[in-house]
Amino acid sequence: ILSSAVITLDKVYFFIDENKLNDEIKEEFNKIGIEIRNYFEIYEFVKNINKDEVVLLDGTTVNYTIYKNIPSNVTIIDAPNPTFIFKAIKNEVELQNIRDCHIKDGVAMTKFMYWLKTNIGKMKITEISAADKLEELRRNDKECFDLSFSTIAGYKEHAAMMHYSATEESDYELKQEGMLLVDSGGQYYTGTTDITRTYILGDITEEQKLHYTSVLRGMIRLSKAKFLYGCRGLNLDILARGPLWDIGIDYKCGTGHGIGFVSNVHEGPNGFRWKIVPERNDSCIFEEGMVTTNEPGVYIEGSHGIRIENELICQRGPKVGVDQFMEFETITFAPIDLDGVNPEYMEKSEIAWLNNYHEQVFEKISPYLNEEEVEWLKKYTRAI
């Protein structure tokens, strides 16, 4: 719903195409002092703001014409919307709901991986049909009422395009070779999810195993972070990017973004990025209760793409003297495809983290699977 709002101390002026509102919404708005105006009226409305008023706006989202139409003698404070931080810091009820919905989502993802691994080469599967199957598995849970975004399912070189969307013309058939990247998420009544897994469908090169393992190492290193309160994503991004920089590879995007609660799958102001991008608004100080994705990747044009993504809750760690340490809780639980991992590239602490993570995946997800799926999951959550 494209719209704008001017909010005063006692009233809200809501500029929107009125045809998008039904009578029930209009009646409710009228009760609580929301006055509906035509979408385009805001350009004239702001010209009449009293010169004694102070206007708070976010210059990264308010368009240029609105900004310039505000009288020059009005005091303007250009700052982020204060509600962003309130939404970003989830309360205990929200956090528990989010943990619960990630188990539901993990079950769907695990069933999808089982279906994919056991049927590849036996039936025709394409990028689009794979995405459709995953949506079907998510919606089997009555708590899932929608996807959180259109599923990205990219096979081979298609996965090198970060926001690839399969069409009937581009739809690859999956074979028993190469890798499939699936970035997806669900909207549940208890939360919003975002998860990426890259599946090994057959033989891959040793270089691709190096790339896969390096992405995994970066994801693990950020998951394990212990840091002082006051750190931003700018301070922590190198943990995920480091193993890739070590082999001369970078990815041209951030490492992670905030997640809304039954809301936007991309939500500021928290995120991981090695440099400030003002329009992104994702470089705030990490606060307890923020939920952020952790998704490093490799994108080799014309060859392959790899991304592994979990979600993290920021928590308070120990306090040592005056120093408050912070840490992350991983809340995404689905197998990471061990067929792409070469443990020789990993440090002992990283292997220990992965084994512990897979132990938790089996413990949390196996009760919701049938016997065949459980036996299969034992293999893909084994200690390496």
pLDDT digits (tens, 9 = 90+) for 47-93: 999 988 999 999 888 999 999 999 999 999 999 888 889 999 999 99
The pair of structure tokens assigned to 42 is 């805001």
Structural domain for 309, as ranges: 87-380
The average confidence (pLDDT) of the chain is: 96
Question: Is residue 45 located within the same domain as residue 152?
Answer: no
pLDDT for 190: 97
pLDDT beyond 90 at 279: no
pLDDT for 290: 98
Secondary structure of residue 55 in the 3-state scheme: strand
Mean pLDDT of all residues in 176-189: 98
Question: Is residue 49 located within the same domain as residue 110?
Answer: no
Give the type of residue at 131: A
Question: Is residue 70 located within the same domain as residue 192?
Answer: no
Q: 34-37 and 12-16 as β-strands: parallel, antiparallel, unpaired?
A: parallel
What CATH number corresponds to the domain at position 65? 3.40.350.10
Give the DSSP per-residue string, 90-143. --HHHHHHHHHHHHHHHHHHHHHHHHHHHHBTTB--BHHHHHHHHHHHHHTSTT
**Domain boundary residue, one of 30, 50, 79:** 79
Q: 12-16 and 152-155 as β-strands: parallel, antiparallel, unpaired?
A: unpaired
Q: 323-330 and 256-257 as β-strands: parallel, antiparallel, unpaired?
A: unpaired
Give the type of residue at 182: V
Question: Is residue 24 located within the same domain as residue 118?
Answer: no
pTM: 0.92
Question: Is residue 186 located within the same domain as residue 68?
Answer: no
Question: Is residue 59 located within the same domain as residue 134?
Answer: no
Q: 12-16 and 3-7 as β-strands: parallel, antiparallel, unpaired?
A: antiparallel
Sign of the alpha-carbon dihedral angle for 238, 239, 243, 249: negative
Number of domains into which the chain is organized: 2
Cα–Cα distance, 256 to 2 (Å, whole number): 26
Question: Is residue 268 located within the same domain as residue 284?
Answer: yes
Mean pLDDT of all residues in 284-303: 98
Please, is 340 exposed, middle or buried when counting C-beta atoms within 10 Å of its C-beta (0-12, 13-18, 19+)?
A: buried
Cα–Cα distance, 155 to 202 (Å, whole number): 12
What CATH number corresponds to the domain at position 111? 3.90.230.10
The pair of structure tokens assigned to 82 is 């204060």
**Domain boundary residue, one of 79, 95, 125:** 79
pLDDT digits (tens, 9 = 90+) for 79-128: 988 888 999 999 999 999 999 999 999 999 999 999 999 999 999 999 99
User: Which residues are within 8 A (CB) of 238 and not within 5 positions of it... i.e. 6 or more apart?
Assistant: 245, 274
* H helix and E strand count, the chain: 10, 19
pLDDT digits (tens, 9 = 90+) for 204-244: 999 999 999 999 999 999 999 999 999 999 999 999 999 99
pLDDT for 51: 87
**Domain boundary residue, one of 60, 79, 98:** 79
Q: What are phi and psi of 122, to 5 degrees?
A: -105, -25
Question: Is residue 22 located within the same domain as residue 159?
Answer: no
pLDDT for 280: 78
pLDDT for 281: 78
Question: Is residue 62 located within the same domain as residue 152?
Answer: no
Question: Is residue 324 located within the same domain as residue 353?
Answer: yes
Question: Is residue 151 located within the same domain as residue 206?
Answer: yes
Q: Is residue 223 within 8 Å of 310, Cβ to Cβ? A: yes
Please, is 16 exposed, middle or buried when counting C-beta atoms within 10 Å of its C-beta (0-12, 13-18, 19+)?
A: middle
pLDDT for 126: 98
Question: Is residue 268 located within the same domain as residue 225?
Answer: yes
Gyration radius (Cα) of the chain, Å: 23
Indicate left, alpha or beta for 107 from its phi (over 0: left) and psi (-120 to 50: alpha).
Answer: alpha
